Amino acid sequence: MTQKVTALIMAGKRSGILDPLAERAGVNQKCVVPVGGKPMIQHVVEAVSACDRIDKIHVVAHEPDEIAEIPIVAELLASGRLVFKPGAFNLVDSVFAGAEGAEFPLLITTADNCLVTPEGYAEFVEKALAAEAGAGAALARKEDVIAADPEGQAKFYQFKDGGFSNCNMYWIGSEGALGAAEVMRGGGQFVKFPSRIAKAFGWTNLLRFYLGGGSKEKLFEQVSKRFGYKLVPIEMSSGEFAIDVDNERTFRVTEKLLAKRAAAG
């Protein structure tokens, strides 16, 4: 029997802050900003629900009513496959809230991951299961990200086996590994904020990040010893999966790539 997982879609909003993209679009939260003609979270829900490795879908949101009006969300709600979970005041506690009542393993993704396909989610699940990961993170190769977005990010995680970018997809293999989410309590974005690496993973591993003296597998192995369960880097096949809708520039890039896909059929 094919093992299936629960998907957590993180669709919360920063307390008291209206995202610039949402303000421009005249909506209350970023996750419903139209991208390529449909709310950005609709792209994610469509991809997740079409993935044959995903069963239940938990959407973690502060304002679910606006999201629930999207037809595919309403349909999945009515069928019982999708449920809303309340967003908390920070990302980590929102993950814990989203995990309540869920069947493990968990695949965590974000509402602005408009470019991840059903096949992309299946690839992530299959590689995480094959690696027997306690927890994991999806990474895309630097050259693949640049090929998808030549004028995009300049900073990458650098390892002996190359540069990589985070894809905002995470794996929690069991309830016991849920503590892996704690590494995001400082806000993540480790490339932009190096001190967060030290706080989450320790100063020794910060040096390993910067010296690039080992493979990504070796570094994750060292981090695994710190946390007590197997953390795995999961290399994805497409650089597009590392592009989320974070600002005006990535909004335009995402719309361009979605249009390219549509034209290709």
Q: Domain of 54?
A: 5-264
pTM: 0.87
The mean pLDDT of the chain is 85
The pLDDT score that the predictor gives to residue 183 is 57
* pLDDT above 70 for 137: yes
Instruction: Single out the residue of 13, 112, 25 nearest to residue 64, CA to CA.
Output: 13
Low-confidence winner among 131-140, 147-156, 165-174, 224-233 (lowest mean pLDDT): 224-233
* pLDDT above 90 for 6: yes
190: pLDDT confidence band, cut at 50, 70 and 90?
very low
> How many domains, the chain?
1
Instruction: Single out the residue of 36, 52, 263, 44 nearest to residue 169, CA to CA.
Output: 44
pLDDT in tens, 28-83: 999 999 999 999 999 999 999 999 999 999 999 999 999 999 999 999 999 999 99
The pLDDT score that the predictor gives to residue 206 is 42
Phi, psi angle pair for 163, to nearest 5°: -95, 145
Residue 92 belongs to domain with CATH number: 3.90.550.10
Instruction: Single out the residue of 216, 125, 208 nearest to residue 170, CA to CA.
Output: 125
